[in-house]
Structure 1
Amino acid sequence: MKKALLIVDVQNDFCPGGALGVKEGDKVVSVINSIIDKFDFVISSQDWHPEESIHFEKWPPHCIANTYGADFHPALNTEKIGLKLQKGTANKDDGYSAFEATNVSFSDFLRKNNITNLYVCGLATDYCVKASALDAINHGIHTFVITDAIKPVNVYPGDDKKALDEMYRNGCVLVESNALEA
């Protein structure tokens, strides 16, 4: 049984001061760095939008490919990341889920590497974390969401709680980082 950590979109534009900054989004970095060595594989996703995207009809322009905003938060330990998934790369692609990556098939990677347990963390609880976790469940992967290593956008108050409830109802296990085994 192999386990992988999926770090969802811990990018400059999603952290405080970024184009679509998540309140306290940078707080997930220290938690992620403290658990990263507990996994057989470490995978990251990145929003990687073109300059012109229908996605920007819903959201301010953010995480434009090859810009500072699309880079990982500078304090995130990226040395252990063995696979980087880029999503939202097409003009007509929102790319909320890591399974929508266009540079690599995430589901093929999980299958080829016999990954049975996926631990999801990052930004944002109510969008990309939720979409990635639910897609993992739909692909038959035992999925855990690390609740102290995620932060929400909360466009509407309570969106984070609704997202956690939906993930739980669909089979995700909600866990805190201090409960993870080495």
Structure 2
Amino acid sequence: MTVNPTDVLLVIDVQPDFLPGGPLAVAEGDQIIPLINRLGQRFQEVVLTQDWHPPMHISFASTHGKQPFSDTVEAAYGTQSLWPDHTLQDSPGAAVAPALHLPHAGLIVRKGFRRDVDSYSAFLENDHRTPTGLGGYLRERNLNRLFLCGLAWDYCVGFSALDASSLGFETVVIEDAVRGIDPKAMEAMTTRWQDAGIRHIHSGDLLG
């Protein structure tokens, strides 16, 4: 598969708090970083996202005195899963992972910085109404095919892919450059991708 000048590598949430040893670690999340670095060399256009939460964020179990992973709360936009405190603004765990080497990235999109709404997608917050501005950036620059990688398959990568497709972008997931949290949720997300016409490929299709 040929990478074109109007293609974008969209790297989702490769941050220390989501890597092994972090409070919301994705298994083997660190193992995809060398591959993402190699992929980045093929793309003129690279965009990164950062989860970027304030203290007492709605997604933190500690905010509600509840248990992470198992408990939920009802937000104005629906049921909110609860997680350990993670990616606190300006903390080392919220930084771009030091091993990620994509110096030519033209944009870093921060999401989840509003206390009362979570944001899995790179395009829309979880209310499905509030845009991050990424769609406008891509359109203004005539960038129309997105290749997604990063963390995690069943959450931020998954919902970013769905929103990208619904906004009219040709959307491709590089499956071996993504890791997930829950196998059942990953399977369900993959079905949603298929229903939306989202392709998923192997990195070898790009790297040869």
Bin the TM-score by the shorter chain. over 0.9
| 1:94-173 matches, cutoff 5 A | 94-100=118-124, 105-154=133-182, 157-173=183-199
RMSD: 1.7
Task: Give the TM-score normalised by the residue count of structure 1.
Answer: 0.93
SS at match of 1:134: helix
Aligned length: 180
The one-letter amino acid paired with 1:115 is L
Q: Which runs of 5+ in 1 are unaligned?
A: none
Deviation per CA, 1:52-73: give whole Å up to 9, x if none.
Answer: 1111130000001110010121
Matched residues in 1 for 2:102 and 2:7: separation?
Answer: 18
Deviation at 1:97, TM superposition (A): 0.5
Deviation per CA, 1:44-97: give whole Å up to 9, x if none.
Answer: 111000011111130000001110010121111131211000000011121100
SS at match of 1:158: helix
Deviation at 1:171, TM superposition (A): 1.3
Structure 2 match to 1:53: 57
Higher helix share: 1
Deviation per CA, 1:4-26: give whole Å up to 9, x if none.
Answer: 01000000000000010011011
Deviation per CA, 1:133-155: give whole Å up to 9, x if none.
Answer: 0000011000000000000011x
SS at match of 1:100: coil
Deviation per CA, 1:83-114: give whole Å up to 9, x if none.
Answer: 00000001112110011378961011110111
SS at match of 2:144: strand
| 1:27-38 matches, cutoff 5 A | 27-38=31-42
Contact (CA 8 Å) 2:52, 2:111: kept in 1 or not?
A: yes
Contact (CA 8 Å) 1:26, 1:73: kept in 2 or not?
A: no
Deviation at 1:163, TM superposition (A): 1.4
Structure 2 match to 1:24: 28
Percent sequence identity over matched residues? 39
SS at match of 1:53: coil
Deviation at 1:181, TM superposition (A): 6.0
The one-letter amino acid paired with 2:204 is N
SS at match of 1:147: strand
The one-letter amino acid paired with 1:99 is F
Matched residues in 1 for 2:56 and 2:187: separation?
Answer: 32
Closer, same or farther: CA 93–158 of 1 in aligned 2, 3 Å: same
Matched residues in 2 for 1:46 and 1:143: separation?
Answer: 20
Contact (CA 8 Å) 2:111, 2:132: kept in 1 or not?
A: no
Matched residues in 1 for 2:10 and 2:57: separation?
Answer: 25
| 1:85-100 matches, cutoff 5 A | 85-100=109-124
